[in-house]
């Protein structure tokens, strides 16, 4: 599996009520070789993700396409009418199906309390607008985290090793500490141990309180539940 | 023609109409998307017309709803930031300051400035893109 193929399979869902910003983020993400879907509201984002109150704990199918929708990262504006980016983040982290998807918040305002609140709620990054290519380049480690978790099934061990090497080589991320911890995590083989490590890693680098995120009765929730990963 | 395009472009930066965000847009433009910058600018102008009209209307209603005015302006300012429209953005900030202190006269006056800068930039960019097109077509023909 070549690097190009791996990158082309990453699907990012971008949420922003501003038409111009949607166009921008779409281009930024495409430039970084991600597949992009843009929506203009939090509720549309949840719809796309197949979320609804009743089945938030089951595997889901997108109501529109009746296919499995795989999203590797969600990047959302903070200030949106109706459901804010923060509200959306909360809903995602509350859902057993969706909570593993990394979430990035964007905002035009540099409000430390806002940033902290988002990070504490489980956001992986907080970007100040206007978002630049350098910012989007920071997304890779977060996306790789999810992607590698999924492929860490016994029969895929070889693929996983290859991805480990690739992610090591390609990690230009400035948050080096986080990168090292991510790599440690990648090498661990037990899924539940991995999730624990992920939480504590995130605690160290992002000051998040992830305790509530790791519940004993959570049995390896996967939004695709071990079904075939949809390749694009 | 190429020199004219370069001159026009540089003038926009030198005279403070555009800031480095515009450079970011240019960086995203490539062979696959040769008119990306112009597309974004066009989008900005169609989208901002809606917002300007909304402010216009809200300014007419009394008592003035400063919260609403600020909200709309926040959106508008966001767009100006995204395309690097430096002067327009500055006027937007000024407008918001008048909103925050409930200064009606200031808001009305400042809104005129916003519209003026908005229109001035549009003219300059249209001019620039016209020249840019000619240059681009000439390049493609080579």
Q: What is the pLDDT of residues A113-157, one digit of tens each?
A: 999 999 999 999 999 999 999 999 999 999 887 766 656 645 444
Q: Is the pLDDT higher at A31 or at A65?
A: A31
Distance CA B28, CA A140 (A): 19
Q: What are the CA-CA distances from residue A196 to residues A121, A145, A201, A212, A213 (Å)?
A: 17, 13, 9, 11, 9
Average confidence (pLDDT) over A184-193: 44
Distance CA A100, CA A149 (A): 10
Residue A67 has pLDDT above 70, yes or no: no
8 Å CB contact between A95 and A51: yes
* Token output for A55: 């089945």
Q: Of all helices (H) and strands (E), which one includes residue A148?
A: helix A140-151
Tell me whether B54 touches chain A (CB under 8 Å): no
For residue A20, give the nearest of B27, B28, B79 by CB distance: B79
Q: What percent of chain A has pLDDT over 90?
A: 47
Distance CA A192, CA A203 (A): 17
Q: Of all helices (H) and strands (E), which one includes residue A175?
A: none
Q: What value does the mean pLDDT of chain B take?
A: 94
pLDDT for res A174 = 40
For residue B28, give the nearest of A21, A31, A129 by CB distance: A31
- pLDDT tier at B142, thresholds 50, 70, 90: confident
For residue B47, give the nearest of A20, A130, A133 by CB distance: A20
Dihedral sign for Cα A141, A144, A145, A146, please.
Answer: positive
Residue A26 has pLDDT above 80, yes or no: yes
**Complex ipTM more than 0.90, yes or no:** yes
Q: Say what the pTM is.
A: 0.73
Beta-carbon separation of B27 and A130 below 8 A: no
Average confidence (pLDDT) over B17-27: 96
The interface residues of chain A toward chain B in range 47-86, judged by CB-CB distance below 8 A, are: 79
- Residue the block writes with tokens 């699907």: A11
Q: Give the residue on A whose Cα is nearest the Cα of B76.
A: A18
Q: Chain A: nearest CA to B96, how far in angstroms?
A: 14
């Amino acid at each position: 599996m070549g690097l190009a193929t791996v990158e082309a399979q990453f699907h990012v869902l971008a949420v922003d009520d501003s038409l111009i910003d949607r166009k921008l983020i779409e281009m930024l993400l495409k430039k970084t070789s991600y597949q992009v879907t843009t929506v203009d509201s939090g509720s549309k984002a949840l719809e796309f993700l197949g979320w609804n109150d009743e089945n938030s704990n089951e595997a889901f199918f997108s109501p529109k396409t009746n296919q499995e929708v795989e999203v590797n990262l969600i990047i959302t504006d903070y200030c949106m009418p109706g459901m804010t980016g923060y509200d959306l983040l909360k809903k995602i982290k509350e859902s057993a199906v969706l909570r593993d998807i990394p979430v990035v918040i964007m905002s035009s305002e540099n409000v430390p309390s806002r940033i902290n609140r988002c990070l504490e709620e489980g956001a992986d990054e907080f970007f100040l607008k206007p978002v630049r290519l350098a910012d989007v380049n920071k997304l890779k480690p977060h996306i790789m985290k999810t992607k590698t978790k999924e492929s860490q099934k016994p029969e895929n061990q070889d693929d996983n090793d290859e991805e480990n090497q690739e992610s090591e080589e390609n990690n230009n991320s400035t948050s080096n500490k986080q990168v090292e911890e991510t790599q440690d995590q990648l090498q661990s083989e037990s899924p539940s141990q991995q999730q624990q490590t992920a939480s504590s890693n995130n605690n160290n680098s992002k000051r998040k309180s992830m305790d509530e995120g790791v519940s004993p009765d959570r049995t390896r929730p996967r939004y695709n539940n071990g079904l075939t990963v949809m390749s694009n | 023609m190429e020199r004219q395009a370069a001159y026009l472009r540089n003038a926009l930066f030198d005279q403070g109409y555009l800031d480095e965000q515009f450079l970011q847009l240019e960086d995203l433009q490539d062979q696959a998307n040769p008119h990306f910058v112009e597309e974004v600018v066009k989008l900005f102008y169609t989208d901002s017309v809606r917002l300007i009209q909304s402010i216009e209307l809200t300014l007419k209603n009394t008592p003035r709803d400063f919260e609403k005015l600020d909200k709309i302006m926040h959106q508008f300012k966001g767009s100006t930031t995204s395309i690097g429209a430096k002067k327009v953005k500055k006027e937007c900030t000024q407008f918001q300051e008048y909103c925050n202190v409930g200064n009606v006269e200031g808001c009305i006056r400042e809104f005129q400035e916003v519209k003026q800068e908005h229109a001035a930039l549009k003219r300059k960019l249209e001019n620039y893109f016209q020249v840019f097109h000619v240059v681009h077509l000439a390049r493609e023909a080579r």
